[in-house]
Structure 1
Amino acid sequence: MKCGNKCGNAMPLSARKVETATPGRHGDGRGLFLYVKPSGARSWVLRYQVQGRRRDLGLGPYPDVSLAMARTRAAEARRLIAEGEDPITKKQQAKPKTFREAALELIESKRPGWKNAKHASQWTATLDAYVFPKLGAVQVAKIETADVISTLTPIWTEKPETASRVRQRIEAVIDYASALGIRSGDNPARWRGHLDHLLPKPKKVRAVKHHPALPHAQMANFMADLAKREGVAARALAFTILTAARSGETRGMTWGEVDLEAKVWTIPAGRMKAAKEHRVPLTEAAVALLGQCDEGVPKEALIFGSEAKPGKLISDMSMTAVLRRMERADITVHGFRSTFRDWAGETTGFPREVIEAALAHGIKDKAEAAYARSDLFDKRRKLMEAWASVAAARAPAANVVSLNSGKSA
């Protein structure tokens, strides 16, 4: 680092000059300047360079900071520069941050790397609801284990899944503060070897609440009823069930992702929860629900696009609304993946890894994952055909529609 000194040959300022200086910039030498605004307000700035980048360090306003004090502060900054440090960075690190300030900074730093824009809002929402009321105004450098415990305890047994995410986010914020150099010592929010001795494991607090699912023995009757429903959302729901897909994957499906001849739906990594491309074998029943791909339709055109707003996705509640109209508020769209999993595991001889691959689940066991290099596509096609024979046996292709019409045939 080096200290810039474009005005190194300027005449030093005097106390009288500081008092009477006209609006503009006035140099005292070696990068120290007095800035005078048209209003008459005066402030001190040290201009220097770090790694070829010019920086301006504010030294305070006049007369609170006299000429002598400004020179002393400038000299201290030059000493830091000579030792290889950046005075502005040093000043920022020395300034205490509240937990809220550190958390919001961390969210902004992570935002560009999050593939889903909802992550930032989810972080902010959970911190606003459960952390900021207690820890928001506390200096992040002073947060201790007792503070973390008191924050988590009210939700640890009532909302264990949420509480676990909150703990992880508190830990991340404190780690961020440590990386900035504004905090030292162990992280009081860490789980392993610390909070795991003070709080019960989230999974043991209460059974994990699964999405309500339809018993697989009722699938044929349900699909027959669903086949009578009109509209894009009803078709999308039937397709989601037949492919064991997530609702968001179906809603964002485009014609460019589908190979009708090969009967394959390839979901790009950017639209998958695991950020890994996923191929879905399509049965005849599933293909029938896609409607007609008219000649000239662009690849980016949505298959299950909104009827009210052409070119827009149907809402994430549209398929749920179909269930409500069917008077099936007791089940959820996502629950059909559980129905599929229960059916496949309880009534078929397909290996577990084939079933998990059909659901696009990652393999948690590292040793097993190392050998699972294939997506087991051919075996999955047979599994999905078996599922279609159960789930769609009484669901005729009555919902086939033209892409242009968007209405039931």
Structure 2
Amino acid sequence: MKLSARKVETAGTGRHGDGRGLFLYVKPTGARSWVLRYQVQGRRHDLGLGAYPDVTLAMARDKATEARRLILAGDDPIAKRRQSQPKTFKDAALELIENKRSGWKNAKHAAQWTSTLEAYVFPSLGTMQVTKIATADVIGALKPIWSQKPETANRVRQRIEAVLDYASALGIREGDNPARWRGHLDNLLPKPTKVRAVKHHPALPHADIADFMNALSSRSGVSARALTFTILTAARSGETRGMTWAEVDLANGVWTIPAQRMKAAKEHRVPLAPAAIAQLGPRGRDTDLIFGSETKAGKPISDMSMTALLRRMDYNDITVHGFRSTFRDWAGETTSFPREVIEAALAHGIKDKAEAAYARSDLFEKRRDLMATWAQVTTPETLGENVIALS
């Protein structure tokens, strides 16, 4: 069954074996190439050995023999080849971003990864081979921002760690990850939370919420309805903006946010008070966005539309996300609702693993009472006057 030089030259389209896993592949175009098929740890691999006629039959057999020696010695020829081909940190990082892009819920993640690495890592580590990056190199990249921008610096560290883990998974890097925090960099750098207090989203004091809502009720338009709804439900702005009618059960007053739209990737049910339902407008088709753009059909309002409304109202020192803190402070300081009910209303995960293991209920009915009380506190008599009536 072995090939001959004449057979290699004249073989038709298809795969032609020379024995012991060596094959000549002939494409319909006539292009010919050599492949060695082999198994390592039960997995089949195809190792390209080059194109004919640059690689002759004799040369292909020699390459196949060398690869078989590596396999007998317990090595993987493909992994060895990768290790012999230097890859820079930047190359590995960009590959990782592309590989992860389809799995990210938000397209902004790829842009954030790229921008932070370009700003803080590529200048020092970008051209270095991933095989040679050591602890001192990682610290050198992090130190300039560790004290000035601790939150950003920690994200950068995590991304460096992920890139180096990716290189290890490819088989082009060996040894411990020099960007690992626990048991490594935590001995060399201060904790980010100790460097500077975490900066929270600026929030409205809960004592001022009624006055704010009264001012908001005089505003009309999609952004005003969306902001009012977001506050009444203590939701994240992205959850509101992407909301469709398929997620709303008007009869039972329930908004069910699917897992893929939640930060924790877990389905979340939100009890809707009448004041919140009043912001939804007339019922549309299941696929219709409830808070759709008034200028771009089929698109949600922009992520800045509610912030722009706050600025037009002369609230320049608070954020939309900060209203979740307003709600949390109000509930914790002025009500007797248990902490776990308040945290569940905010869709916060339980950090204590033992406690989380026993938390089977989403405390929905207790949360309904909590959100009804919040609506009473935040709803002025004028709320809804500018809202289209439900059909």
Specify the TM-score bucket, using the shorter chain as the normaliser: 0.7 to 0.9
2:201 counterpart of 1:214 = no
Q: 1:355 to 1:56 in 2, by over 3 A?
A: closer
In structure 1, the residue matched to 2:174 is 184
Which residue, out of 28, 35, 50, partners 1:47?
35
TM-score (ref. length: structure 1): 0.83
Query: The residue matched to 1:280 in structure 2 has which SS?
Result: strand
Give distance in 2, aligned partners of 1:54 and 1:363: 44
In structure 2, the residue matched to 1:407 is none
In structure 1, the residue matched to 2:304 is 317
Q: 1:391 to 1:54 in 2, by over 3 A?
A: closer
Which residue, out of 155, 162, 174, partners 1:172?
162
Unpaired stretches in structure 1, ≥5 consecutive residues: 1-6, 14-20, 405-409
C-alpha displacement at 1:81, in angstroms?
Answer: 5.8
CA deviations over 1:115-162 (Å, ceiling 9, x no partner): 333322222222111111110110111111110001000111111111
In structure 2, the residue matched to 1:305 is 292
Which residue, out of 352, 366, 372, partners 1:365?
352
In structure 2, the residue matched to 1:251 is 241
Query: What count of residue pairs does the alignment treat as equivalent?
Result: 380
In the alignment, is the contact (CA less than 8 A) between 1:263 and 1:283 conserved in 2? yes
Q: 1:79 to 1:306 in 2, by over 3 A?
A: same
Which residue, out of 353, 357, 363, partners 1:376?
363
Q: 1:175 to 1:53 in 2, by over 3 A?
A: closer
In structure 2, the residue matched to 1:17 is none
TM-score (ref. length: structure 2): 0.87
**How much is the aligned-residue C-alpha RMSD, in angstroms?**
3.1
CA deviations over 1:215-241 (Å, ceiling 9, x no partner): 111111111111111110011001100
CA deviations over 1:339-393 (Å, ceiling 9, x no partner): 0001111111111101000101001011211222111111111111111111113
2:127 counterpart of 1:137 = yes
In structure 1, the residue matched to 2:48 is 57
Which residue, out of 205, 213, 216, partners 1:226?
216
Give distance in 2, aligned partners of 1:56 and 1:366: 45
In structure 2, the residue matched to 1:96 is 86
Q: Relative to structure 2, which stretch is displaced further, 180-189 or 128-137?
A: 180-189
2:146 counterpart of 1:159 = no
Unpaired stretches in structure 2, ≥5 consecutive residues: none
Give distance in 1, aligned partners of 2:180 and 2:239: 34
In the alignment, is the contact (CA less than 8 A) between 2:278 and 2:390 conserved in 1? no
In the alignment, is the contact (CA less than 8 A) between 1:59 and 1:73 conserved in 2? no
Which residue, out of 314, 322, 326, partners 1:327?
314
Which residue, out of 255, 274, 279, partners 2:269?
279
CA deviations over 1:74-98 (Å, ceiling 9, x no partner): 5323544666766444312321211
2:344 counterpart of 1:354 = no
Q: 1:80 to 1:45 in 2, by over 3 A?
A: farther
Q: Percent identity?
A: 68
- Return the index of the structure with the highest Cα Rg: 1
